[in-house]
Chain A
Amino acid sequence: MTEQKERELYFWLRLIREFEDRISTLDKQGKIQGGVYSGKGQEAVVVGVCHELRPDDWIFPLHRDLGAFLVKGADPNRLMAQIFGRRDGFSKGKDSFLHGGDFSNCIFGATSMLGSTLPVAAGTAYKFKIRREDRVAIAFFGEGASSRGDVHEAMNFAGIYKLPVVFLCENNFYAYSTPNELQFAVEDVSDRAVGYGFKGDVCSGNDLHSVMKAARKAIERARAGEGPTFLECKTYRYHGHSEHDRATYRSQEELITWESRDPVERWEVYLQKRKYDIAAIREEVGGKVKKIVDDAVAFAEASPVPEGPEAMEDLYATPITEG
């Protein structure tokens, strides 16, 4: 890996961390209405996967994959406006948090209907296949969502048609309060891949190297026409399910154990091993990401609040006028 790439990856990890932390603070200040789902602790997954993609590959992020939007190229200002529910957000205030999507950067909007995006990702991959386009689709989902029937149906389709899709499971051990042993009877949910006729793989979601290696393999397989992969990244969310969940269902020790495997710090340790001046890098990147997030907040706060007529827009290609 080149030094430039190593530094770039660090920048993304830090930018996401800064963004996530700021949103949590803004939420506490009452500036964001509705649910905020922090992906803090899971940054290496989205960076490791999205950094391996080309601009015309599609991603289907889950509800806490704010970082995937950023790495895939979404404008931080518009992303913040989206989270504020403002006119300049991707959905112009019609829906919350990551639900807008950003068509120009090939980012599908997350939905609350967990698991529902997987068949959509498979359909996208089908189009790539029959049009002989050298593109892949990445469908992110939680281990909780893996229990939905739609997920099974998507994988079955993808297996039959050997579609260029990666089913990327962020296994963070809890679906809201529900621990994995009440979600499925196996250790690795990616074991299911066998039943659909494609490969399953597991990696450490807190280790950027491990994610990149596994993601690259899966993406190359898709590009080579060898079909889908079920890639499971084991990781952990530091915050509750949403910002108002105090996460009393898990132990403090468990959280501390996972914090000791922090993906951002791990990358710093790696950079240090490479003999870079980590103190200087940390400061430089810290200043840069803070400015980006400051600017994004200023942009979002200045963006107009939707006043009502927007609610009626974008329902049909030609608006229906009432009789």
Chain B
Amino acid sequence: MQKYYSNITQIVGDVITVEAENVGNMELAQVITRRGTSLAQVIRLDGRKVFLQVFSGSRGISTGDKVRFLGHPMRIPTGELLLGRIFNGSGSPLDGGPALDENLVEVGGPPVNPVKRIIPEKMIRTGIPMIDIFNSLVESQKLPVFSIAGEPYNELLARIAIQAEVDIIILGGMGLKYDDYLFFKETLEEQGALSRSIVFMHTAADPIVECLLVPDISLAVAENFALAGERVLVLLTDMSNFCDALKVISITMEQIPSNRGYPGDLYSQLASRYEKAVDFDAAGSITILAATTMPGDDVTHPIPDNTGYITEGQFYLKNGVIEPFGSLSRLKQQVNGKTREDHRTIMDTMIQLFAEYRETLEKQAMGFEMSAWDRKLLKYGNLFEKKMMSLEVNIPLEKALDLGWEILHECFSPEETGIKRSMIEAYWPGTHEG
């Protein structure tokens, strides 16, 4: 028989304080109000005072309401039965299907022992040259799309998800607009991927605490599948909403903020989620693609800044294209040495020349005379933008590399590219076939 406690002594933000005994840190509780029952989680203990973060928010909670502790931390059902289903941030069904309580696993479990990880080496082909050539995506990578609100980051995530050869797709939506939710659902449905997908949805209209739970639940479910040998892709959009929810809670708990109101442990909080991306020794993998919207397109803002320090690179989406500068895949070198011999050469050369093109653009904008070399760079830059950068392009890596050589050939003489001669002899168009 579990005990009910009814002396709620404080309600601040979405955190309530109740006097109780024998309560475990992080334990779950039910708060029973006139409007219904909500789950809550212990976030601090001080003598008899128990601080609870209420999932559905504190609105309408009265000091006379009852609290019952459940004796366990947050758990989530896992397994095949979840496939094709849609849940909210606390794990309750949103699709009219039955609630599940099988194979419960703890949310936010312990970290993987680094020695049980393996070096990732499987490239995920996307058909997008800006990714495949310049910043290859690798299975088990954790990688956000940085962009300002309004960029087509959800479209990009969905496109990669559909194209990637993974067993299971888990979508964790945080503060998502309902339209975006429908977009994901329809895309997965159209591509016949819904039956191997699981959706955890928090929309902009839902309680803020539930937003905090989405990454943890999504990743706990993913981890369970990965341990069973499945290759899981987790999409988290938008992680900036998650960070903002963290900020709200930490201010409520009177923690000293470190930077623009964000808590000092923002890095550790993000890391404990992103580090769930893994390639298990002798089991499956988890790849995490996230969306991180940057307030004011400012990459030094604490959210993208802390994210960038944790993730294995980022795709910087700007004006509808993936910008070569600011985009990075830290794992690209695990795979791009094994694709085609000229892959790295094309990657390095085209980017260095593109950097020069950008400088020439600046000169041009200042009204300076264009030298012969400048004109070559301008021609090159235009071709690069049209044929490589546009997200309309959808070609396999090998075709994209060939295209790279063609563009270079069209604009430059071999030595102008700085490419070493052995490579030129093997790949420069017109050299080998005579």
> Do A and B truly interact?
no
